Structure formats: C-alpha cells, structure tokens
Amino acid sequence: MTIALIDYDAGNLHSAEKAFQRMAAETDAGTLVVTADPDVVARADRIVLPGDGAFPACRRGLQAIDGLEEAILDAVETRGRPFFGICVGMQMMARIGLEYEEVPGFGWIDGQVERIEPNDKALKIPHMGWNDLIVEGADHPVLDGIATGDHAYFVHSYAMQVATPAQRLAHVDYGGDVTAIVGRDTMIGTQFHPEKSQSAGLRLIANFLQWAP
C-alpha cells in the first residue's frame, strides 16, 4: 500500500513525514511517498494533504501544479481513497474559505472557513498551542482511543463553521466552539497538527492508516 503525502510548497513537511513514516512502520500500513506527481497520487491507496498559512495561498499552490488537484479529486470522489487533511488541508475540504477573500474549497464538508472570534477578548488570535479535544464522533473508527480531554496542538486564525453537525467529529473551546475534526465517507480532517500532538496525534494517524471505510 502507498500513502501519498502531498508536497505543494505549503509548509514544512518534515514533522508530518516522520510521524506518518513511523506509524506506517508500526502498523505495517505500507510505504509513505512525499510527492507532487499526479500519477503517483492517482495510484496511491491513501492521500494526506497538509497545509500551513493562508487558505487562498494553499488553494492556489495546489492548483499551480498541473493535474495535481484533479488527481486528488478523482482519487477521493470517484475511487473512494481514504483522505486525511491537516490544518489548511482540512480547511480546503469546506465549501468556501473566507480568509482575505472568498475562495472555493473542495466542497466535501458542508461549511465555510471563517476567522475565529472568541467571546473572551483576552484570548489572542492566532489560536496557538495545546487545547483539549471535545469528541462528538466517538464511534468513528479514526477516533478509536481518542477521548474528550486528549490534547492537540493548534496554530490557526481561521476555523471551519460546519453546517451539517454530523460532519463535525470534535471541537475545542476557545472563547466558543472551534472545529477540531471533521469527516464523512472516506474523508477526515484535523484543524490541529496530529504530527505535533504527541500520543493522541500518533493514535489518529495509526487509526487512519488502518481505516477501511
């Protein structure tokens, strides 16, 4: 089995590469390939899309590589390959992003990405550091062993507002609800960085690599 970690110049992939390599080895889940090659993505059994920075820049960075976005969409939408979006990679699963301008997402999750507006003005933006997960989709296979109170590491100023409650699997409290995990069908995404979230993050990665939706 091949796991494609998409490299489209949208952040440092080193930590994600090491975490997914480690868990692929521990679960005997196959080989991780860091790639921007549409043909490799088309043949991959699982797809991981990271993303750091602003939604518009990540979206355009993905579209700038000829055939890459099309290969991802075909693999996930047509052939049902398991997909894991991380940070802005998760945000791009939404219908639209509203960071600086309106930019369409993949439309997989019924929601839009908006600036975090905490009801406590003492809370700073970006939302940065550790926060406690509040799990809503505990029966999801990728959340096996993940419980409310587990810690995850966040760095973001925008978050997904999910219109279909069943598609939000976990949130955190940061002056109000902030979406932490979304998913449906063969797709899952985390606003936090699982590769930096210690035991809970590694458990999520291992679960994803063994998931058979």
Residue numbers of the chain with a pLDDT score lower than 70: none
Contacts of 91 (CB under 8 A, 6+ apart): 51, 55, 85, 97, 105, 113, 158, 159, 160, 189, 191
- Choosing from 17, 58, 87, 171, which is the catalytic residue? 87
Has 87 been annotated as catalytic?
A: yes
* Res 6: pLDDT: 97
Note whether 110 and 168 are within 8 A (CB): no
* Whether 69 is catalytic: no
Q: What is the pLDDT of residues 169-188, one digit of tens each?
A: 999 999 999 999 999 999 99
pLDDT tens by residue, 34-59: 999 999 999 999 999 999 889 999 99
Name the nearest CA neighbour of 158 among 88, 66, 86: 88
